Amino acid sequence: MDILWWEKTVEYFFVQKYVDIKTFVAPLDGNHENVGDAIFSNESMWILIEFKRDKKSISDELGKFINFAEAKEALESEGAHHLIIYGESESADFYLKCQQYFSGLPILLEDALKSGIEKDLFVKYLQKLIEYKKQSQGGSGGYGFVAGVSNDGTVTRCMKLSEFAEALHLEKILKQKLQQRPQQSSYSRPRMGR
């Protein structure tokens, strides 16, 4: 029997299997200005995840960049915490596979959750990444799933990139960068990863 699944299936399966609900802190709603950076004090590392339905869907990521080859050259060496997680099935079994975003190197999911970087470096990476992205309908938030990870590799927070940016007051900065950047309509489409 073949299994039918979607990108959201991959995301929910990840949360169900790898997020410790006992320590989980959901994204905040409402006035983030009252809370500030304190909401991030329990996480020591941060990872950025792009969920894809299957391995074939990974090539969709190329279209999110002005020039993927330039982005890869600039960010691959510092992007071990930027991941793609996708679903695969064999017979009636469904499982998740993981790879680094730019290099395409496969990683065990358990190891990937330990590949996070501290918040300040994570924010700097996001600022660089957004320079290479095309503008999305959601500004900076059209892409990515941010996970906060504790010292022991436990996922304790999950949110959209836009929620992360808003909570750290980065939304205005990221939107300004997008508006200041010249828009290019053509881009290279090199093969992504393996």
Note whether residue 189 is domain-resident: no
23: closest CA among 43, 9, 7, 50?
43
The overall average pLDDT reported for the chain is: 74
Q: Is residue 187 part of a domain?
A: no
Residue 61 lies in a domain: yes
User: Quick check: is 192 in a domain?
Assistant: no
Give the pLDDT score at 39: 39
| Residue 162 confidence (pLDDT) | 74
Q: How many domains does the chain divide into?
A: 1
Lookup: tokens for 173: 């900065």
pLDDT tens for 118-175 read 888 988 998 898 888 886 544 443 467 788 887 777 777 777 777 777 776 665 655 6
Rounded CA-CA distance 47/56 in Å is 23
Cα separations (Å) of 36 from 28, 144, 149?
Answer: 11, 21, 19
Question: Which of the residue ranges 37-41, 55-59, 84-88, 143-147 would you say has the lowest mean pLDDT?
Answer: 37-41
Q: Which of 111, 115, 113, 86 is nearest to 98 (CA)?
A: 86
Q: Residue 188: inside a domain, yes or no?
A: no
* Angle between helix 68-75 and helix 119-132 axes, rounded to 10 deg: 160
The answer as to whether 33 is a domain residue is no
Which has more confidence, 12 or 89? 89
For residues 95 and 88, the answer to whether their CB atoms sit within 8 Å is yes
Domain hosting residue 66, numbered range: 7-28+40-180
Question: Tens digit of pLDDT for each residue in 43-81?
Answer: 578 889 899 989 999 998 888 899 999 999 999 999 999
Which residue did the predictor score with more confidence, 78 or 1?
A: 78
* pTM across the whole model: 0.71
Is the residue at 107 inside a domain? yes
Q: Is residue 185 included in any domain, yes or no?
A: no
